[in-house]
């Protein structure tokens, strides 16, 4: 049976193989660069001789009509030109091949460096997971054996084999962490029949964020109605009822089986203002948000309320707001490439209080102007704990992880907006979104992917794949080039 210490040994073995492979890639890169420089020098010399021969041929071209004299003078010059041209072409071809080898070796070296950093972070995460349970040890056994076998094959070991072993070990730890979190959640979760949220007990109302077409279903299950509740659906249940029939109708923070915790991420660096309501015209945004409002019955999908007090003490612009949930990703998780993808994941109907939890910095800044910073910060913190069902310590760890993810985006200078999620919604089927070419964020329509739209200046943009667009932009980025085209 595999001991937990064998996992540490596997990480040490993978780290050693990654360092060895990275060192070899660096040696290959330097060797290819030296040989490329020599090939470029040879090309430049041959090219200089070719230009000299061409000038001399042009100088004595007037002798060509004279059969004997012309052949005597021009034939050696033309031979020199042909020889120099052949040598230059050969040197250029070698230089191009060597530069491709330099680029490939550089990519391999950087990828191995990133994998080494990821494996070190995964190894450090093992310390927080505690002793490995039986099912984890059984899962690790074939992976550990494969790593040990690969380490022994030093002469025939390939970089791809090392890469696969490192990725497999990292994914093993991720799966272990996910399983541990699921086990912990299941252990502390109350049974569905007695599930009561932090803010709901006894006869307090839990408003149902459901569309009009589910009204009869909710009433048949035992929901009560209050048509004086204001705009939206006035159906609710109470904590004294059996909530099992309503699990798919309840606000998310009132369900027995909660969704994945919300990250409350700050807007990625250099992505401020890149949102639907800034980039598209009022008609487009009104169509998107009001459709989502109607589908949740003009109720917050998290708490079921509307017209709640915002964190800064004021009220929202309406009974509910539309919140855009974004994710930010970079090629190979490397921000140094400079171009990332900002992907729309979903649009949530939220009350002003819950909405402030996703924009905590803005809310507390507004509250600071009224000398209410501490009150606003405490309000948001308590609300975030309620939404995710976390203790203060758990929330601190969760927010720290979000802050770390945000820091990783600071090297990205340009974001591609992926709106494929919006394009996939049925309410967008017959809608032609209108992009504001002069939007306040200064965002170019050429960087929007995933959806077809028209700019307000009349230009039409088809739906493009975000990754293909990113790849195209990366291809156009400055790269090492030879200067043989100079005259």
20-64 pLDDT, tens digit per residue, is: 989 988 998 899 899 989 988 998 998 898 889 889 888 888 888
* Residue corresponding to tokens 């170019």: 444
* Most trustworthy range by pLDDT among 306-310, 452-456, 465-469: 452-456
C-alpha radius of gyration, the chain, whole number: 32
Higher per-residue pLDDT: 89 or 316:
89
Residue 331 pLDDT level (bands cut at 50, 70, 90): confident
Which domains, ranges and CATH numbers included, belong to the chain? 5-185 (1.10.287), 193-240 (no CATH), 276-475 (no CATH)
Among residues of the chain, what percentage have pLDDT more than 70?
85
The closest alpha carbon to 340, from 286, 260, 417, 419, belongs to 417
Distance CA 322, CA 311 (A): 17
What integer pLDDT is reported at residue 322 of this predicted model? 93
Are 210 and 225 in contact, with CB atoms under 8 Å apart?
no
Whether pLDDT at 341 is above 60 = yes
Give this prediction's pTM: 0.56
Sequential DSSP letters for 107-131: HHHHHHHHHHHHHHHHHHHHHHH-S
Strands 448-449 and 414-418, bridge-based pairing: parallel
pLDDT band at 310 (very low <50, low <70, confident <90, very high): low
Beta-sheet pairing, 453-455 with 434-435: parallel
Q: What is the pLDDT of residues 230-256, one digit of tens each?
A: 666 688 998 888 888 898 899 998 888
pLDDT at 455 over 90: yes
Average pLDDT over residues 471-487: 50
Computed from CA positions of residues 421, 311, 249, 196, in that sequence, does the dihedral angle turn out positive or negative?
positive
Q: How many CB atoms lie within 10 A of CB 186?
A: 9
316 φ, ψ (degrees, to nearest 5): -75, 180
Please give the pLDDT value at position 324.
93
Average pLDDT (68-94) is 88
Task: Please write the tens of the pLDDT for every residue from 249-297.
Answer: 999 988 887 778 887 877 777 777 788 989 999 999 999 999 999 999 8
Q: What percent of the chain has pLDDT over 90?
A: 22
> pLDDT at residue 435 above 50?
yes
């Amino acid at each position: 049976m595999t001991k937990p210490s064998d996992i540490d040994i596997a990480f040490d073995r993978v780290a050693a193989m990654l360092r060895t492979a990275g060192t070899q890639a660096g040696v290959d890169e330097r060797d290819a660069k030296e040989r490329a420089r020599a090939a470029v020098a040879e090309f430049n010399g041959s090219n200089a001789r070719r230009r000299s021969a061409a000038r001399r041929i042009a100088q004595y071209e007037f002798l060509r009509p004279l059969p004997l004299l012309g052949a005597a003078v021009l034939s050696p010059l033309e031979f020199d030109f042909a020889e120099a041209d052949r040598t230059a072409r050969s040197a250029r071809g070698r230089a191009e091949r060597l530069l491709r080898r330099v680029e490939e070796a550089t990519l391999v070296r950087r990828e191995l460096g990133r994998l080494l950093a990821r494996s070190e972070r995964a190894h450090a995460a093992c310390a927080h997971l505690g002793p490995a349970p039986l099912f984890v040890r059984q899962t690790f056994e074939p992976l550990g054996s494969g790593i040990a076998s690969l380490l022994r094959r030093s002469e025939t070991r390939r970089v791809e084999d090392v890469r696969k072993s490192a990725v497999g070990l990292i994914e093993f730890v991720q799966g272990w962490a996910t399983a541990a979190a699921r086990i912990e959640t299941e252990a502390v979760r109350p049974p569905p029949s007695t599930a009561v949220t932090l803010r709901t007990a006894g006869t307090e109302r839990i408003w149902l964020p459901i569309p009009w077409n589910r009204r009869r279903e909710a009433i048949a299950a035992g929901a009560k109605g209050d048509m004086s509740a204001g705009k939206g659906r006035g159906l609710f249940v109470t904590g004294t009822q059996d909530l099992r029939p309503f699990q798919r109708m309840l606000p998310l923070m009132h369900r027995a089986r909660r969704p994945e915790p919300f990250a409350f991420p700050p807007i990625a660096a250099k992505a401020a203002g890149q949102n639907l309501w800034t980039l598209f015209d009022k008609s487009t945004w009104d169509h998107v948000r009001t459709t989502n409002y109607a589908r949740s019955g003009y109720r917050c999908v998290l708490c079921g309320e509307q017209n709640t007090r915002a964190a800064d003490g004021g009220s929202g612009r309406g009974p509910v707001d539309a919140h855009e949930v974004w994710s930010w990703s970079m090629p190979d998780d490397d921000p140094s490439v400079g171009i990332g993808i900002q992907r729309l994941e979903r649009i949530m109907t939220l009350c002003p209080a819950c909405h402030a939890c996703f924009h905590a910095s803005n809310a507390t800044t507004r509250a600071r102007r009224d000398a209410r910073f501490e009150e606003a910060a405490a309000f948001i913190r308590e609300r975030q704990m309620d939404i995710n069902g976390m203790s203060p310590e758990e929330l601190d760890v969760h927010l720290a992880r979000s802050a770390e993810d945000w820091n990783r985006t600071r090297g990205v200078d340009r974001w591609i907006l992926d709106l494929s999620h919006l394009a996939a919604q049925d309410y967008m089927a017959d809608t032609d979104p209108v992009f504001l070419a002069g939007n306040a964020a200064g965002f170019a329509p050429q960087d929007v992917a995933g959806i077809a739209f028209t700019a307000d200046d009349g230009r039409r943009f088809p739906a493009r794949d975000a990754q293909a667009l990113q790849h195209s932009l990366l291809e156009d980025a400055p790269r090492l080039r030879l200067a043989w085209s100079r005259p």
